[in-house]
Amino acid sequence: MNAHIKIIVLLLPYMFMVACGSTEEVEKADLIIKGGTIYTLNDQKPIVEAVAVTGDKIVYVGSVQEVEKYVAEDTKTLDLEGRTMTPGLIEGHGHFMGLGYNELNLNLLQVKSYDELVSLVANAVEEAEPGQWITGRGWHQSKWNNDNEVMIQGFQTHEKLSAVSPDNPVYLRHASGHAGFANAKAMEIAGVQQLSKENMSQQEVEGGEIIRDELGNPTGIFNERAQTLITQNIPETTPEKDRQAMNLAIKACWRNGITGFHDAGVGREHIQLYKEFKKSGDLGVRLYVMLTGWDKALLEEWYQRGPEIDTVHNLLTIRSVKLNCDGALGSRGAWLLEEYTDRPGHYGHETLPMDFVLETSHKALKGGFQVCSHAIGDRANREILDRYETAFKSNPEAQTDSRFRIEHAQHLHPDDIPRFAELGVIPAMQAIHMSSDRPWAIDRLGEQRIKDGAYIWQTLLKSGVKIVNGTDVPVEPINPIASFYASVSRKTLEGDPEGGYEPDQKMTREQALRSYTLDAAYGAFEESIKGSIEPNKLADFTIFSQNIMEVPEGELLNTEIDATIFGGKIVYERK
C-alpha cells in the first residue's frame, strides 16, 4: 500500500499539469505574424491563423490563441490586417545577372513597335560617347505592329536603327535571348559584310544563322550561335558594374516577393561574385545555381569537386548543369520534328550536340549533379528525353531521385508527354510564356500542334509530374502575379481570349501556387527546408495585397506584393 501511495504522490504534479494545461517551456519567438489568411502548402494544415519565427526558422504554425505561448517581452508582431501570406515565392527559371543588367541597360520588354525601339536607341546615343557600345534586351517583333516595316524571314531590317546610331555600335538581344539585332556599325566591327549568294557560306555558323536578304546583305538579325560574331566584340563588363547589377537583381526580387531563385546557366565569374556576396552577408536571395554547359572546363572542375550544397546558411547551392539544346519559337530557333508552318523547310536549330547531352548526363549522374536542359521544340524535347533515358539505364543506382529537368518544355509531341513521369523528369515551364507567345505561336506551329502539345500543364500534372514555374527573366518581367494569372487563366495579360487558350490545360490556383513554392523547392532538392510554412523550415514569406486564391480572375492582376520576409526579416514593404 505504501508503494502505491508513493507512486501516486510522484504522479501528482504530472496529473495537475494535464488537468490545468501544460506549462512546458517553448522557444520564444522573435516575430509573430497573424491577422490574415495564411496558406501553408502543408496538406495537414492548409490554412492557419498565425506563425511564430525564431531566428530564420519557423517554430510554430497554427492558431492565434496557441501562438501567444511564443510571445516574449521583445517579440515583434506583424499584423497582416486581413491580407494574404504564402511561403516565399521561388523563381524557378531565370537569369539572375540578366535581371540586374536589364535594370542597367536598355530595357525593351515593353516596346510595342520598331519605331519605339529606334527612339529609345536614339535617346541613348545622345547620352553616349562616340564609339561606345549601346546594348539592351527585350524586343520581340511578333508583338509589334509591323504593318509599315520591311520584314525578312519574319524580322525587321537594320536601316532605321543604323540611321540613328552611325557612330555607336548597337546590339539588342531578342527577349528570348536566342537572337540579336545589330546596327551597321556593330556589323562593321564584326566584319559581317554583304556577300554574293555563292559566298554566303563563308560566314555560316554551326548552330546559328545570319539572316540576309536576297542579295546577301545582312539584315542585322543574328540567330542562335551566330550572335557570337557580334558579342565577342562587346567590351567585357567591370566588377563594379557586376556588383551594381547584383544589388539591383536582389532588390527586384524583393519587390516581387521572390525569396528563392533558380539561376539557369552561370559562369565562373558570377559564381565568384555570388560567393563574395554570401560572405559579406549581402546575398538576400537563396540562389540555386546551374553551371553553364558552354564552359566545358568549368564542368570538368565541378565534376571533380562535387556539388556544393549550402546546408548551413541555405543561401548558395551549386549542384546542377544547364545545357542549351535548341532555340526559341520567336526566333524560329526551336528544334521541331516537322517544319515551321510559317517558314516551310525550316526546322529550327540543334544548338548543342546531343552526344554532349548524353556525355553530360552520364558524368552528372556519377558526380551527383542534376542536368537541366533547355528545350522548347518537340524534337529537342524528344532527343533530350532519349539521352536522359539512356543515361539512366546505364546508371540505375545513380539515377534514383536524380530529378533531371527540361527547362521550358513548351512544345511536346503527344508520344513524349507520359515520358516525363515515367523517367522522373521535371518540366520547368514558365506560364507567362503561354500568355505572351500563344497569340503568335499558332503561326509557327499551326492549330493541331498547338492543341496537342503546347503548354500542356494540366496533362503533365495529371500524369504525376511536378511543374516548376517562373518567368525566365529577363525574357519576361519577373512579376510572379502575371505568371500566376497566366497559369490559371491561360489568357494574355489583356484578358484575351474569353475562357482562355486551350482552357482544359489551366492550372488550379493551388497547383499554380505549388508550382511557385513547394514544387519549385522540389525541383532544387530543397522541399525539406522551404516551399511550405511548417515548423523548422526557413522563415521566407510573401505577403499579397489581396487573396490570390479567392479573388475573381479578372482582379488577379491588380494584386500587389505588399511585403517580403526573408529569413525572418522584413526586407521589403510596399509604401
DSSP 115-135: HHHHHHHHHHHHHSPTT--EE
Average pLDDT over residues 58-86: 97
In the predicted model, what is the mean pLDDT of the chain? 92
Say what the pLDDT of residue 8 is: 46
Domain CATH number, residue 184: 3.10.310.70
Interval 301-314: pLDDT, tens: 999 999 999 999 99
Domain CATH number, residue 572: 2.30.40.10
Say what the pLDDT of residue 399 is: 84
Location of C-alpha cell 533530350: 384
Instruction: Decide if 115 is inside a domain.
Output: yes
Return d(Cα 173, Cα 182) in angstroms, integer.
9
* Domain end position, chosen among 211, 231, 251: 231
87, 533 Cβ separation under 8 angstroms: yes
Instruction: Decide if 52 is inside a domain.
Output: yes
Return d(Cα 430, Cα 440) in angstroms, integer.
17
* Domain end position, chosen among 164, 196, 231: 231
- 194 and 123 within one domain: yes
User: Is residue 164 pLDDT above 60, yes or no?
Assistant: yes
Instruction: Decide if 169 is inside a domain.
Output: yes
Interval 471-512: pLDDT, tens: 999 999 999 999 999 999 999 999 999 999 999 999 999 999
Instruction: Decide if 48 is inside a domain.
Output: yes
Average pLDDT over residues 25-50: 95
- 200 and 153 within one domain: yes
- 115 and 66 within one domain: no
Say what the pLDDT of residue 16 is: 41
- 109 and 78 within one domain: no
Say what the pLDDT of residue 110 is: 86
Interval 107-149: pLDDT, tens: 898 899 999 999 999 998 988 888 989 999 989 998 888 777 8
Helix, strand, or coil (residue 526)? coil
- 217 and 110 within one domain: yes
Q: Residue 116 is part of which domain span? A: 105-231
- 181 and 66 within one domain: no
- 145 and 200 within one domain: yes
Instruction: Decide if 2 is inside a domain.
Output: no
Instruction: Decide if 467 is inside a domain.
Output: no
Residue 23: Cβ within 10 Å count: 8
Location of C-alpha cell 503548354: 455
- 129 and 227 within one domain: yes
- 175 and 144 within one domain: yes
Interval 320-357: pLDDT, tens: 999 999 999 988 999 999 999 999 999 999 999 999 99
User: Is residue 13 pLDDT above 80, yes or no?
Assistant: no
| Residue environment code for 128-166, b if the CB has 16+ CB neighbours within 10 A, otherwise e | beeeebbbbbbbbbbbbeeeebeebbbbbbbebbbebbe
Q: What domain count does the chain have?
A: 2
Say what the pLDDT of residue 400 is: 87
Instruction: Decide if 492 is inside a domain.
Output: no
- 53 and 110 within one domain: no
- 117 and 75 within one domain: no
Instruction: Decide if 417 is inside a domain.
Output: no
Return d(Cα 175, Cα 437) in angstroms, integer.
11
Q: Which long-range contacts (CB under 8 A, 24 or more apart) does 143-152 make?
A: 143/112, 143/436, 143/440, 144/111, 144/112, 144/113, 144/114, 145/112, 145/113, 146/113, 146/114, 149/114, 152/211, 152/212, 152/213, 152/219, 152/221
Helix, strand, or coil (residue 110)? coil
* Domain end position, chosen among 231, 255, 277: 231
Average pLDDT over residues 270-280: 97
pTM: 0.84
- 172 and 74 within one domain: no
